[in-house]
Amino acid sequence: MSITSTITDIWRQWASQFDEGISYIPVIGAWFRPKWTSVILDRDGQFSQADGHGTLQALSEDQVRQLAQKKRLCLRLGQGLGKQRIITLPQAARNDPAATIALSLKQYFPFPEDDTAFAVHGSGKMDEANQWRFAVSFARKSIIEEAMSHAASLGLSPKVVDALGDNPLAEVNADLLSGGKAGGGKSASKILFALCALFILMAMVINGWTALTLAPTAAQLDALAKPGGTDQARLQKQAKDTAPAILDIWQAATDALPDNAYAEYLTYENGRLRIAGKADDAAMLVNAIESQSIFSGTSFAAASLKEDDGKESFDLTTRVQKRTRP
pLDDT along the chain (326 residues), means of 10: 68 62 60 76 92 89 88 90 93 87 92 94 83 93 95 92 90 89 68 84 85 72 60 57 67 81 81 85 82 83 80 85 55
Whole-angstrom Cα distance, residue 75 to residue 163? 8
H/E element holding 56?
strand 56-58
> CB neighbours of 258 closer than 8 A, spacing ≥ 6?
279, 280, 284, 285, 288
Chain centroid to Cα 235, Å, comes to: 49
Instruction: Give backbone dihedrals phi and psi of 135, rounded to 5 degrees, phi first.
Output: -80, 130
Which pLDDT score is estimated for 4? 74
Least Cα distance to 161 among 49, 62, 82, 68 occurs for 82
In this predicted structure, what is the pLDDT of residue 138?
Answer: 96
The SS3 assignment for 38 reads: strand
Return the C-alpha torsion angle 105, 111, 113, 119, nearest 10. -60
- pLDDT reported for residue 137: 95
Domains of the chain in sequence order = 34-184 (3.30.420), 242-320 (3.30.1360)
Q: How far is CA 256 from the centre of its chain?
A: 67
For the question of whether the overall pTM of this predicted structure is more than 0.85, the answer is no
CA angle 49, 55, 61 (to 5 degrees): 30
Question: Could you report how far apart the first and last alpha carbons of the chain are, in Å?
Answer: 76
Question: Distance of CA 195 to CAs 100, 199, 200, 207, Å?
Answer: 35, 6, 9, 18
- 191 three-state secondary structure: helix
